[in-house]
Structure 1
Amino acid sequence: IKVKRYENFPEADGKAKLDSVTFKIYDKLETAYNDLRANNIQITNKLPISAMATVAQEFGDRYIYKPESGVGFIGFPIATNPTAYGKPEVRKAISMAIDREAITKTIFSGTRVPADDFISPIIPGYRKGAMGDAAKYDPAKAKALWDSVGGVPNNTIELGYNADGGHKEWMEAVGNQLKKNLGVEVTFKPFEKFGKILDALGAKEYSGAFRMAWQMDYPSMENYLRPIFSKVAIENGSNYGGYVNEQFESLLDQADQAKSVEDGQKLYQQADDILIKELPYIPVYTYMTSAAYTKTVKNVVVDAQNRIDLANVELA
């Protein structure tokens, strides 16, 4: 996609420094990274897992590493597959069987942080350790809870993920942990692109557990609650699990009408507590921006939504 600067845009309003920009679209992050290293592209804000161990050394101060607003989840098709995933205890057992520390360190080389809330740590109202035991790796407790509720039918979990975003490695790591810690069989369902798995979930054609993520639209706790877990978000949002809880809905409505930011935040935290108790999704990690750029450009800045401030990028 090729775009060019609008020459009549006022300088005072931030006219772009570059006269044109070309966006290149890749099926594989590795290919994009190789092009960056060869100076065939100048900036990328998506790096493959294979680059994580060496990118800081190779790019130095042209490697950007900072917290961003994304949260990575394992989601459950509660509405379409309640027999397997309808019990909160099943979902909690799966959560406690996941070693978040190992995944973020070993798979992502520290470019993800273990999640302990449904809310990103950069958002006002986030509470460190809010998930309590549900986010703590405890294979013994996980197995005991799993056995107490009978696990899932056929003792098999399917994990779906989009294969175009570097998710194969960490999803397979989760699957191996579940096999080891819960004694369950795990199969994998890669979808070609993220849009494909969203289409399958939206059409209720896929009923396995699935990789999901959320990036903020605006810096509010509400943005991590209503668009993903409310009733209205089933048809007009991103509630791909079909989760419904009337108390959760009521707390969202009360928070919207609160007389102060502080009062609203407390009510959103109560709604968050319901999600922590019921775990319609399992927060696994929060994102760190990992971007890099070549020596041919300067003034590269990436914001909390992982967007490059292209208006201020210049040729070096």
Structure 2
Amino acid sequence: MTLKFARTRKTVVSLFAATMLSGVALTPAMAKTLVYCSEGAPEGFDAALYSANSTWDASAETIYDRLTEFESGTTKVIPGLAESWTISDDNLEYTLKLREGVKFQSTDDFTPTRDFNADDVLFTYNRQLDKNDPWNSYFPGANWEMFNAMDMPSVIKAIVKVDEKTVKFVLKQPDASLPSKLALNFGSIMSKEYADKLAAEGRREDLDRKPVGTGPFRFVDYQQDAAIRFAANADYWAGAPKIDNLIFAITTDPTTRMQKLQAGECHVAPYPAPADVAGLKANPDLTVLEQPGLNVSYLAMNTLIAPFDKLEVRRAINMAIDRKAIVGSVYQGMGQVAKSVLPPTMWGYNGKIEGYSYDPEMAKKLLDGAGVKDLKMKIWAMPVSRPYMPNARRAAELMQADLAKVGIGVEIVSYEWGEYLKKVRDEARDGAVILGGTSDNADPDNLLSYFFSCSGVGGSNNANWCYKPLDEIFQKARTSSDQSERTKLYEEAQAIISDQAPWVPIAHSTVVLPMSKKVKNYVMEPLGSHRFEQVDIED
């Protein structure tokens, strides 16, 4: 089968914002600069190395493109750098025709000599697929988390260069979700020519520090933990952005973000505290968008560490935590208690799962039956607000109080965001972590495999819980093209996860995004990203 598709601002700024603008080339009568108050600093700029949305917003959604993309505002897969693709009769070969005339960005120390071609696709994927590839371990601790969590090494047999503008993905087994997986951020296409230059000069790590892509914005510079500056890519194949400069002003505190927004220091500011939403809606200078999030927040126990390797203990902790009280206090009407690990707005959701009821007395009995007394544990609280969790510290304090009632002493710990994300992947981690996620492609496999596959242990599987019968269900679901059959398998998977209780599912949030009324054409993305290629600002 063949699939083919078509595809002078005045700013009120504070001294801080003016400082951020220094060095950006502005033509006063014409240049348009949008300031986005980002909630967290990026871990780096090679999108395949990381899994945080704050990092992807600053890399995958600005600098890079993928072979396939998600249509803005939807979960529909459309062509990206691959303008069309064909699928063999046995569903084991996907042949992709690459887009002509796509140019990589130029920077101060790199000027491309050729357009995007098949070599770039092979470089982007083989460095993740092949452990012997010289770029597989170019960055300390590189584990290609999302690529492995999606079990791509079990799916892809080889990637073949047919010619300069054609590549073929040869699969080990059918995978009906491959086109949507190619749109995930680990598939952000890198320049092989740039990588070769960096290797020759002995500075491979600049692939992550000084990024080059084909996307709508080119990287200008990064002031650590303060600001990232981008400029419009005038040669962007899909048309140059409407704004000339894009600045990410890194502002981790949600109250400060909203203050900057209302003072005119930034134009878009995500993830307000729920208590601030009513006031933001009442501000006549702001537009406040909102929609149900395809997300989940959770507390993940490390099942490799005693006593969390005991099912009774995990169930006891689920029963000891009053999730309804957490949602009421932390989300304040902007979320609902999670019964399953999938959000109810996603296909494949198992509505028959009720989850664990708040039952401290039963929790005590389960702990006694497991021979666990005077348990001490750590709960890790994120230092930043996320779309799925507005205030992890407050949630942790409520959990601490609940667990004390059943005889469990809790120490709350936290780390800087990048360090937090690094440390939670340690298989020897001491503590249960508060985290969450937003679906990247609206396919149940994305969240389920990412969080619970055996291949994700030590990476995205923050419970470090490997359950072979569950992996077999994931495998069956991936190889089926029948959505009703896949739905049944994913419903079964959710029932197993609920029964085995490696997590305490907490909530599914409503995502709120306030912005200046000067911002035009902004579209909320159901998959949680922030995109600016079509955004404009009126004078």
* TM band (smaller chain): 0.7 to 0.9
Tell me the CA shift for residue 14 of structure 1.
Answer: 5.5
Given that 1:73 and 1:284 are in contact with CA atoms closer than 8 Å, whether structure 2 keeps it comes out as yes
Once the two structures are superposed, the pairs formed by residues 80-99 of structure 1 within 5 Å of their partners are 81=305, 83-99=306-322
Write the distance in 1 (CA, Å) between the matches of 2:493 and 2:392. 29
The change in CA–CA distance for 1:61 and 1:105 in structure 2 (over 3 A counts) is farther
- The alpha-carbon deviation at position 55 of structure 1 amounts to 3.2
One of 62, 69, 73 as aligned partner of 2:287: 62
CA RMSD of aligned residues (A): 2.2
Superposition TM-score, scaled by structure 2 size? 0.53
The Cα shift of 1:157 comes to 2.4
- Length, aligned pairs only: 306
Letter of the 1:268 partner, please give it. Answer: Y
Moved over 4 A (4+): none
Residues 300 and 308, structure 1, Cα contact 8 Å, conserved in 2: no
The match for 1:108 is 331
1:31-70 correspondence to structure 2 within 5 Å: 31-48=256-273, 51-52=276-277, 54-58=279-283, 62-70=287-295
Alignment of 1:262 onto 2:491: no
8 A Cα contact 1:116 1:129, kept in partner: no
Query: Which of 161, 167, 171 is 2:392 aligned to?
Result: 167
- Can you list the C-alpha shifts for 1:28-79, whole angstroms capped at 9, x where unaligned? 2222221112110010122235524633334697122211112101001111
Q: How far apart, CA to CA, are the structure 1 residues paired with 2:493 and 2:279?
A: 41
1:276 aligns with 2:501: no
Residue 533 of structure 2: aligned partner: 311
Compared CA separation, residues 138 and 65, structure 1 to 2 (3 A): farther
Structure 1 contact 159–208 (Cα < 8 Å) conserved: yes
Task: Note the C-alpha offset of 1:200.
Answer: 1.9
Query: For the residues of structure 2 that align with 1:208 and 1:239, how far apart are their CA atoms?
Result: 14
In 2, Cα distance between equivalents of 1:156 and 1:169: 19
For 2:300, give the aligned amino acid: G
Deviations 1:172-198 (A, max 9, x none): 112112223x232211111121x3123
Residues 1:52 and 1:39: Cα distance change in structure 2 (over 3 Å): same
Residue of structure 2 equivalent to 1:3:
230
The residue that corresponds to 1:210 in the other structure is 433
1:118 matches 2:341: yes
Q: CA deviation at 1:220?
A: 1.1
Bigger shift: residues 57-66 or 223-232: 57-66
- The 3-state SS of whatever aligns with 2:379 is strand
- 5 Å-filtered alignment, 1:192-271, equals 192-193=416-417, 195-235=418-458, 237-271=459-493
Tell me the residue number matched to 1:141. Answer: 362
- Residues 14/74 of structure 1: CA separation in 2 closer, same or farther (3 Å cut): same
Which structure has more RCO (C-alpha within 8 Å, separation ≥ 6)?
1
Question: Taking structure 1 as the reference length, what is the TM-score of the superposition?
Answer: 0.88
Structure 2: where are the runs of 5+ without partners?
1-227, 386-390
Give the aligned residue type for 1:189.
V
The reply on whether 1:28 has 2:28 as its aligned counterpart is no
- Computing the radius of gyration from Cα coordinates, the structure with the larger value is 2
| Percent identity of paired positions between Structure 1 and Structure 2 | 23
Q: Distance in 1 between matches of 2:507 and 2:445?
A: 19
Q: Quote how far apart the aligned CAs of 1:289 are.
A: 0.8
Contact 2:349 2:490 in 1 (8 A): no
Instruction: Letter of the 1:283 partner, please give it.
Output: P
Which amino acid counterpart does residue 270 of structure 1 have in structure 2?
E
State whether structure 2 residue 382 is matched by structure 1 residue 155: no
Residue identity matched to 2:322: D
Match of 1:190 in 2: 414
List alignment gaps of at least 5 residues for structure 1.
none
Equivalent residues of 1:70, 1:213 under 8 A apart: yes
Greater helix share, 1 or 2? 1
Determine whether 1:294 maps to 2:516: yes
Secondary structure of the residue aligned to 2:494 is helix
For residue 127 of structure 1, what is the aligned residue in structure 2? 350
- The offset of 1:205, in angstroms, is 4.8
